[in-house]
Amino acid sequence: MVVFLLILVLLLAALGVLGLALKIALAAFVGLTIAVVAFAAVGYYMVRHQVRKAQQSFNAAVNPQRPAMGGTSVEVGRPTRDDPPVDDRY
């Protein structure tokens, strides 16, 4: 394979089109590199989005929802006569 590429480069140099061939090869390499990087970035962000959605649903299932604004987090039951009187004026 290396011998074939060496012969190809020498043939292109002899014909005077080596510069053009190198430009085409460089353009193809840069294009493929950009495509691979873009594909990897899109895949990374898609996976990250799915992981965050899964974390949010897991947290919502584990931790109960807090009441909305104006609500209370105190459980209020029916008063009983057994409760001692509390003077909370002070």
Lowest mean pLDDT among 19-23, 69-73, 82-86: 69-73
Cα 42 to Cα 20: distance, rounded to the nearest angstrom: 33
Least confident piece of the model among 30-44, 53-67, 75-89: 75-89
Average pLDDT over residues 8-24: 80
Q: Residue ranges per domain, the chain?
A: 27-60
Half-sphere exposure of 23 (CA within 13 A, CB side): 4
Mean of the per-residue pLDDT values of the chain:
82
Q: How confident is the model at residue 44 (pLDDT cuts 50, 70, 90)?
A: very high
pLDDT digits (tens, 9 = 90+) for 54-82: 999 888 888 766 656 666 667 777 767 77
